Chain A
């Protein structure tokens, strides 16, 4: 069953993408529905996650060249990014810090354990960076990975709709908030809506990953 994971992922995603093309409602988000459907199929058939991942990991591996590819929209939007470098820099410092503090304190208020608080702190940055950061600060890397994906799914599913609901029209503000909050999955969604927002989102995601990995260890020392 070497190709099970690849086939299942592509076939299920194709199906939900077709449904989403017909009716673009946030609750029909193909990524979210594919994850739920595949988890359900594995549960029903008794196929283990490891068996599924044997070939499915090839698909998630492509995330790495996709991150490198974000250089192209960044380059194409270089004029505008240069023009608003001050807002982009200020937005990353503001949003990146807010993402850490809000996750940490809200989880604390709701009675989260120490390891959960630490696992939540890097949830807004891209998976690859977040796992390493979680390990460094004493969180649970697998839990962080799941939280990062869920944060990305939220951004992918309802981020654009929320920005619309709060009447945020500025394309730079929309892209920056999306990249800082929901990393790659948020970027993947907003780049389909607007290329400038997508470029800013990709830049914000990259810079926020760097920013968070640098400040988080020091910020937590102040909080604890």
Chain B
């Protein structure tokens, strides 16, 4: 367990270090994810060493969004005064992006079958 956690937090730390050192627009955790993917691809890290720990984090991702989600209450006044453009655009943009992107990719793939 500690080997896997050490690897995951190690890559997170390296990602954060690179993000800050080079002032990149990409956050450290994304850089860490990309680096760990390459480390697995080039057999620097073995899958069995991180698999269980990674799956634990991923399976429990939903609960991690609750605390910042509750933060909605601190911006209530701002959201209320622009409610129509904010929520209208939020829902319409969400539906358009989800369905059109899925249809676009399905068409691309369907054409090759």
A residues apposed to B, CB below 8 Å: 5, 9-10, 12-13, 30-31, 34-35, 38-39, 42-43, 49, 52-53, 56-57, 59-60, 62-76, 78, 84, 86-87, 90-91, 94-95, 98-99, 102-104, 106-108, 110-113, 116, 120, 123-124, 126-129, 132-133, 136, 140, 142-143, 145-147, 149-156, 159, 162-163, 166, 168, 170, 172-174, 176-178, 180-182, 184-185, 187-189, 191-192, 198, 206, 209-210, 213-214
Q: Does B65 contact A (CB under 8 A)?
A: yes
Q: Chain B 55-78 against A: per-residue CB contact (8 Å), 1 yes, 0 no? A: 101111111111111111111001
B residues apposed to A, CB below 8 Å: 8-9, 11-12, 15, 25-30, 32-34, 36-37, 39-41, 47, 50-51, 53-55, 57-75, 78-79, 82, 84-86, 88-106, 108-110
Is the contact region of chain B dominated by helix, strand, or loop, or is it mixed?
helix
Closest B residue to A86 by CB, please name it. B108
Chain A nearest CB from B1 CB (Å) reads 13
A146 near B71 with CB under 8 A, answer yes
14 pairs from A and B in contact (CB 8 Å cutoff): A49-B74, A56-B66, A66-B61, A68-B8, A68-B36, A69-B50, A71-B36, A94-B104, A98-B100, A98-B101, A111-B84, A120-B90, A126-B27, A166-B103
B12 near A68 with CB under 8 A, answer yes
Is the contact region of chain A dominated by helix, strand, or loop, or is it mixed?
helix
Interfacial chain B residues near A75, Cβ < 8 Å: 37, 40-41, 47
Inter-chain CA distance A139–B60, complex, in Å, is: 31
Contact of A116 among B66, B68, B69, B85 (CB under 8 A): B85
Sample of 4 more A-B contacts, CB < 8 Å, known A86-B108, A107-B86, A120-B90: A31-B62, A111-B85, A142-B71, A177-B99
Contact of A65 among B12, B59, B89, B97 (CB under 8 A): B12
